[in-house]
Amino acid sequence: MDNRLEKIVKVLQEKAGAAYEEFRGEVHVFIAPGQIVDALTFLRDEHQFSLLSAMTAVDYWPKQDPRFHVIYQLTSLTQNLSLQLRVPVSGGLLKLPTATQVFQSANWREREIFDMFGIEFEGIPIRAVF
């Protein structure tokens, strides 16, 4: 793991109780649902992760706990770093706080995740049906 990422992951572990794994050279940080907005804000404001380059979900059915992972792929263009945050979501609790106040681009992605996986994002701006 890059030394710069290692320092960031340690802070996330201390502040948010995060866990992490490395897989094929990528760092995956596991964040509790209630901590995701604070973690995204911290990464954007303190470490220049200004790009939410991808947001999606994975369904691990028939496993129920966690049934899903919501994945936030962040990029720091100024530091040439990439970091993936994963939020485990159980099959019985399909709600997360919206990330739109941190990254406006999360709006469309959260709607797509709701349509594809049924995971609701609380606080998302008005959902219009097209």
Asked if residue 75 lies in contact with residue 82, where contact means CB atoms within 8 angstroms, the answer is yes
Rounded mean pLDDT, 113-119: 94
| Domain extents in the chain | 3-92
* φ and ψ at residue 122, rounded to 5 degrees: -70, 130
CA atoms of 45 and 74, how far apart (whole Å): 13
pTM to 2 decimal places: 0.92
Collapsing DSSP to helix, strand or coil, 73 comes out as strand
Q: Each residue of 58-100: pLDDT tens digit?
A: 999 998 889 999 999 999 999 999 999 999 999 887 899 999 9
Asked if residue 27 lies in contact with residue 20, where contact means CB atoms within 8 angstroms, the answer is yes
What CATH fold (topology level) applies to the domain 3-92?
Beta Polymerase; domain 2 (3.30.460)
